[in-house]
Structure 1
Amino acid sequence: MILDLFRLNNRLLSAGDRLVAEVGLTSARWQILGTIAAGDRPQPVAWLARDIGAHRQNVQRIVNELEAEGLVSFEPNPHHRRAALVVLTDKGMQAFEDAMHLQIPWVNNLAEELQVRHVETTHKVITEVLRKLEGDDE
């Protein structure tokens, strides 16, 4: 199962890269923009990295690229001088929304012929394994 999940992850990243290339994104950039968009408040890079289970340095590099392209900006963090908060710009929100619009037919195609109960069971298993792995990180 683990090897299949690795393969699935790689295929999802490759397919995602192809899907969002036309809006100037990669799967990694799309994931970070989505994490920022889903947040209920701006977060520093370290928190974004924690939320997606990635190394802070990798997320910092991508966030710096997104900032250089005007997709995100940094705001002062009232709780930590050196850990600026990452905020989507209007351009960044538009890029994220464009990517999400592209993914709707893609996801619908992937979901064709899948039974809802199987998707729900798979989600429960993945969530439980992820919870256990996150517990190992502490």
Structure 2
Amino acid sequence: MSEQLALLVADVFEAAGLLRKMGEGVAAAEGQTQARWQLLSVVSEEPLTVARAARRLGIARQGVQRVANDLVREDLAGFHPNPDHRGSPLLTLTPLGRTTLERITDRASAIHQVLSADIATADIAAARSLLHRLIDEVHRYEEQAADG
């Protein structure tokens, strides 16, 4: 069983690398990077502090701050006062940022249609379910390791 899990992990890493490379191309077609795309996407749901956006993305706050500053410089996002914490402004999309995100998302959706054309919806759902179970197990393992 552990050998099969090791092979699955290797497959996930390979898929992630391929999808990241494809994502860079999708974002580049709109003059952006995948890092900018991810940050635009995460703050499109709700305004977030840089620290909270970094936690949601699972990456270092300093890297997110650099990308956020780039987005602000290009008028794709803006910093606004945070009523809960004066020293941590909220990053929000500008109208141009929202339009840019929509264009990138439309490109990605078209590619997803092609990629999934010959894969049954039930197979995609089963793969997602398995990955979520694995993610939950990793979280559980990390919690136990931290406790013990």
TM-score between the two structures when normalised by the length of structure 1 = 0.90
Output one character per residue of 1:71-111: Cα deviation in whole Å (capped at 9) or x when no partner.
Answer: 11000111112111000001100100110111122000110
- Count of matched residue pairs: 136
Residues 2-27 of structure 1: CA distance to partner in whole angstroms, max 9, x if unpaired? Answer: 12211211111111111221211111
Residue type matched to 1:34 in 2?
S
Describe the shift of the 1:106–1:93 C-alpha distance in structure 2 as closer, same or farther (beyond 3 A): same
Deviation at 1:134, TM superposition (A): 4.0
Cα distance in 2 for residues equivalent to 1:84 and 1:132:
34
**CA deviation after TM superposition for structure 1 residue 127, in Å:** 1.6
Unaligned regions of 5+ residues in structure 1, if any? none
* Residue of 13, 17, 28 corresponding to 1:6: 13
- 2:53 alignment counterpart: 48
Q: CA RMSD in A?
A: 1.6
- Tell me whether 1:84 sits opposite 2:89 in the alignment: yes
Higher mean alpha-carbon deviation, 59-68 vs 85-94, is at 59-68
Mark the structure with the bigger radius of gyration: 2
1:122 aligns with 2:119: no
C-alpha separation in 2, matches of 1:129 and 1:61 = 32
CA separation in 2, counterparts of 1:4 and 1:43? 33
Name the residue aligned to 2:65: 60
Q: Secondary structure at the match of 2:75?
A: coil
Q: Distance in 2 between matches of 1:74 and 1:18?
A: 28
Q: Within 2, Cα distance between the matches of 1:65 and 1:131? A: 34
5+ residue gaps, structure 2, are 1-7
The whole-number CA distance in structure 1 between the counterparts of 2:121 and 2:99 is 31
Question: 1 CA distance for matches of 2:23 and 2:17?
Answer: 10
- Distance in 1, matches of 2:37 and 2:114, equals 20
1:29 corresponds to which residue?
Answer: 36
Q: Take 1:20 and 1:29, find their aligned partners in 2: how far apart are those partners? A: 8
> How far did 1:130 drift?
2.3
Identical positions, percent: 29
Query: Structure 2-normalised TM-score?
Result: 0.84
